[in-house]
Amino acid sequence: MSTPALPAAGTVTMFTTTWCGYCRRLKSQMEREGIEFTEVDIERKPDAADYVMLVNGGNQTVPTLLFPDGSAATNPSIAEVRSRLG
């Protein structure tokens, strides 16, 4: 499984599910902060689920964010997202 395409500078790719409360909270915080993101539902895209499992020790833990530098974070705070987008 290859890494998904990297997001554009200043944005993130957010891997989610429809039922994830942590995902909804982080999405609303990023919207409030003006941080652009692309949302990918891992239940609809098996390759995305494979990537999430790759970076989370085999677990489908969401939200998992992919940053422009290729790094990932699982359930980060909005402060961490801001600082990593720098």
| CATH number for the domain harbouring residue 58 | 3.40.30.10
pTM of the complete model: 0.94
Question: Per the domain annotation, does 3 fall within a domain?
Answer: no
Question: Per the domain annotation, does 27 fall within a domain?
Answer: yes
| Full domain range(s) for residue 58 | 11-85
CA 78 to chain CA mean position, Å: 12
Q: Over 70: is that where the pLDDT of 60 sits?
A: yes
Cis peptide before 46 (omega within 30 of 0): no
How far is it, in rounded angstroms, from Cα 26 to Cα 60?
17
Question: Per the domain annotation, does 6 fall within a domain?
Answer: no
Tell me how crowded residue 48 is: count the other CB atoms within 10 A of its CB: 22
Counting the structural domains of the chain, the total is: 1
Q: Over 60: is that where the pLDDT of 1 sits?
A: no
pLDDT band at 2 (very low <50, low <70, confident <90, very high): low
Question: Per the domain annotation, does 39 fall within a domain?
Answer: yes
Question: Per the domain annotation, does 17 fall within a domain?
Answer: yes
Q: Over 70: is that where the pLDDT of 71 sits?
A: yes
pLDDT value of residue 10: 94
Tell me how crowded residue 6 is: count the other CB atoms within 10 A of its CB: 15
pLDDT band at 16 (very low <50, low <70, confident <90, very high): very high
**Stretch 70-82: mean pLDDT, rounded?**
97
